[in-house]
Structures are given as structure tokens and as C-alpha cells.
Amino acid sequence: MRKLIAAMKMSLDAKVEGPDGTADWVEAWSEDYGLTPQIDACLLGGGMYPGYESYWTGIQTKPETPAWLTSEPPTPAEREWADFIKQTPHYVLSSTLETTSWPNTTFLRSVDDVAALKQQPGKDIYVVGGARITASLIDAGLVDELRLIMYPLVAGTDSTALFATSPRRSAELLEVRKLDRGKVELTYGFAS
């Protein structure tokens, strides 16, 4: 069975978005978790997908133009990810979204559809985000691994927490890696 691997960049206080709806502390939105060789699909929630599609389409079509989310030109790693996802199937868990401009995007309507996707042949699936889909898939017992890049700052009380409404759940620490500028990557496994 394929693994479902969620990965997110977050603050020390487990926030994934600031009060304005962005994680303005993240300097680049590249795939920094080492997942690219082991995945062949991406999964997103309906709340995040429209902005994701817009952001990465902008980088794909104008790779030297500053991106709207960071106000900086895309990094080489962001341009690499933009090329990778151009050929990678995307799945969007949403009961309301109906259209997309990306031809390799499929809409899933329920958590059961995600469970069925895991049963299909292929490499692992990367849960790109957002916070609601990540937490709900963990709560449903579908996420096999969670990779977090923790930034050395406290985002504050008006920010969006990854596990704001999740019940108590245990995870096994699989790996810790110290990164540059005080960041830490944590990898957790979840028992099914």
C-alpha cells in the first residue's frame, strides 16, 4: 500500500498560518523534505488548492518574476518543484470545487476516496496541505508519516494551529535533523 506523507512548515507554537492567512516566516515554498524521489502524486485540501495552483502556475510561466506569496524571485529549489509538479498528478479533497486549470488534477469528494487512492499502485502520496486536510487525515488514521520543518519563532494567538481541533493521538519520532538558521526537521510515524 502507498504511504500518505504529510509535510508542513510551522512555527514553534505549531502554527501553520499567521493572522493574515499566510506563513510569512517561510522564505521559500520548495519541497524541502526530501520527498520528491519517493512520491508520484500530491494531495491538497480545497481551501488551499486555488492559491497553490495560482502560485505554482506563476512560477512555471514566469520563473524570474517575484512570487506573490514571498515577494522574491523563485529559488532554484522552487523552480525545480514547479517543474516536477507540472507532470505530477494532483488530487484535491473538496466537496465544492469543480474546476481547475491544471489538466492532471482530480477531485476527491470524501476521506473514503483518499483511502481508496492509497490502495492504488504507485509511489507514495505527498499531502501538501493545508492544515484542515492534514489534521483530518491524521484524525482518520490515513497519514503514515508527518514531516515538519519547525521555524524558530512564535507566531502568536491569532494564528492557525495545525491541530486546533484534533483529539489526542500518539506518534513515534522517527528522525530529527538540524537545519540552517535555527530550523529543525522532525519526522513522525503514525501507527494504523
pLDDT recorded at residue 160: 86
Chain centroid to CA 175: 19
- The average confidence (pLDDT) of the chain is 93
CA-to-CA separations, 23 to 101, 153, 160, in angstroms, rounded: 25, 11, 9
Q: Is the pLDDT of residue 192 over 70?
A: no
pTM of structure: 0.94
Q: What is the mean pLDDT of residues 45-62?
A: 93
Residue whose C-alpha cell reads 529559488 in the numeric block: 75
DSSP string, 158-181: TSEETTSSPPP---EEEEEEE-GG
Q: Is residue 90 within 8 Å of residue 97, measured between CB atoms?
A: no
